[in-house]
Structure 1
């Protein structure tokens, strides 16, 4: 049994100070992932710093016309917020695809960003895992890897990021607000999560002494043309085999002004390629162009023993999501 102490922070600086006082401290809010990890003996914090009293529960207008979401806003509150459903329905749909209502009622925005992978081997403390014990090995490489990464993986880790919400945030181009002993800073969402490389135990670019305080959404929410498509083994409360968050802005002639597409279930982080998206700008949204985009986004995909199907599946998901976003059919592009 892992013994730990518990402290409740009443202010931001109090939370940071309590966390900084012990190198094995962990912040806890909803606890929907951390408590699971503690039960499985994967996470062994010495101190839990409860941050639920901190003033991070509001959803406010941002200076540039976007929306600033406090890190302690629950997933349910965010998904049903009138400003989110009207201006950022892509985000609302991704959240509602992500978990049971009971979990959404307590899971927080900040915690969602910091979810650990759901790899079988990571959760099994009796097996080696480079994420738990760097240098011990990755059994998934030659083991059960049906759910594992086809993009951005390394020989040290082929796990995938489990969040649905994060896929939509990546597509929207959100910004993460952080606070540490040296003050506040921001990170573009695409720089928040890391690929495994040779340090798979480090999931994010959040510093050890920092706290996520908010997520900021840009003014463009792709409310008119968007889709979140998630393929999973069962329709209720399952992680994505492949998911796609798509947002498209079209001009009066039907040409692409802007297009975003992020994939989930395929990599250690939500997978997005701005260079591939740029190829669509100024172009009509045809089956050929959508198919070419899917090929570009999946360039470099590498299959393992059990997950080769994910490459073809991802291509179909991308094409179908663009079709849903624009109420058209591009299915021939995936054949």
Structure 2
């Protein structure tokens, strides 16, 4: 199994370097530990996370260089093993064999909480199915930090990760979310985006969800040049069309406004809901979302279903 060792000295506090800390007790839970790591400022690594990363038999990580540099700045030595989208399937049996042999392992992302827009889900599912102990050491999460700073309703919220990079699939994903809103979903939307696609994604969101929807763009969170820009989707799209963004980016979009349901809109909501569930369940969902009598909505759903070819 490919691995590398890393160790080094602690740096002074500057540009996100961690502060001096007393050495934490070296302990690690049985099985697999999911360890959240800083999303920018290295001072955000918790003492418990540091203790676990320094005590496990190996740390599974996306990029050994990134995790290795972080651990070096804390003076921590660890065996690093790459686990990413391209090798996760083949690594799962090896990882489970190591844990079943008595080793204690940790999974860390390049930044933030493992599995959230990062590799590891398939490993965790396999570990659970194999009866392997799985625990989490919580910590930074860019999506949640962006949500709390956005000024938008914090709950409920829907996290979509990254939208498809190409225009057609991205528009389709936005349309599916809009259909869910028409069927009754009311939630703040949170997603990630790469800086070179930010302007076009904001434009697509404005077109698919409405340019007057409130939104926020959060970038470089926890770092020296942290910025949260708030405005309508149209305003944000216009700004970043002429002012390219840098760094890690989260986009937040406010919930859909309450709509007055006319006959045409009722039909649209029913068709959207019926596309993914039974007629009875679709009618119940749309009735709850619109406040219309369930019998009336169900009767209209039957008419729409009968009219389909």
Bin of the TM-score, shorter chain as denominator length: under 0.3
TM-score by length of 2: 0.27
Q: TM-score, normalised by structure 1?
A: 0.26
Per residue, is there more helix in 1 or in 2? 2
Larger Rg computed on CA atoms = 2
